[in-house]
Structure 1
Amino acid sequence: MIGLASGIVGFIGVYWLKSKLKYDDSLDAFGVHGLNGIWGAIATGIFANPSVNSAGKGLLYGNSAQVIVQFEAVLATIVYTAIMTTILYFITSVLTGGARVDEETEVIGLDESVHGERGFEI
C-alpha cells in the first residue's frame, strides 16, 4: 500500500502539482523525494506492524499516537529544511555573486533551457 500510494503521490507531484503551482524544479526533487518522504513518514505511523518491529505499532494496530509522532517529525523536518535552505541560499549567493540565472533562461525555465526537458500538460 505504501509503495502503490508513493507512485501516485510522485506522479501527482511531478505532473499535476508542478504545473498547477508553476514552480521550476529541474530535478523534481520536491515532487518526488519531498512528497514521497512526507508520505512515507506518515505511512509508517499508519502501517507500523508490531510483528515486524516489536517496539512499535501504528494506527492500524491501535496506536493512533504514532501518527501524531510522525506528523510532528515531518513538521520538524520541514522547519529544519526551510531554515537550512535559507542559510545555504544566502551563503552560496554571496560566494557566487548571485543565485539567479539570466532572464531568458528564467523565462524558458531550467528544465527546458538547461536539461532539455519539455513541458507535459495533462
Structure 2
Amino acid sequence: MSGVRRLVLAAVLMSATVGATSAELDIAGDYGNEAGCRYAITNDYSEEDMLLLTPRDVGTHVTLCSFVQVYPAEADSQVMVVTCGHEGDETTTLGLMRVQKSPDGVDAYLVFDQDGTMWGKAGRCR
C-alpha cells in the first residue's frame, strides 16, 4: 500500500472515530477565479472555467470536493483529505488535495490535486 493511500486510510479512520464533521481551511472568506467569485454570488455555475475555494470546499464546473480533514504542511500550504462529487456520476470519490498560499505575494491560493495537477489560482472574492 502506497504512503498516500495509508495517509488517506488513516485520516478516514480517525474521522470515523471523531465524528462526521467537516473540516475548514485556515482562509479568510471565499477565493476563486472571476467565474468562481461570480458563482459565489449568483449560484450560476454555467461557466466551464469556474474555480471556487471556500473554507469548507473547493469546486469547479463539474466537481465539488468537501474537506474531511485539514493538515498544515510546508511552504504556506495545507493538505486536505477530501470527498468529491462529480457531475454526471453518482459515486463519491476520496482523495487528497493541497492548497498553497500564492508565492507571488498576491492574496491568492494555488489549488492542487493529489497527483500535483494545479486546478488553478484562486484570488480573494470581493
TM interval, short-chain normalised: under 0.3
Q: Counting helix residues as a fraction of each chain, which structure ranks higher?
A: 1
Higher strand share: 2
Q: Please, what TM-score do these two structures have when normalized by structure 1?
A: 0.22
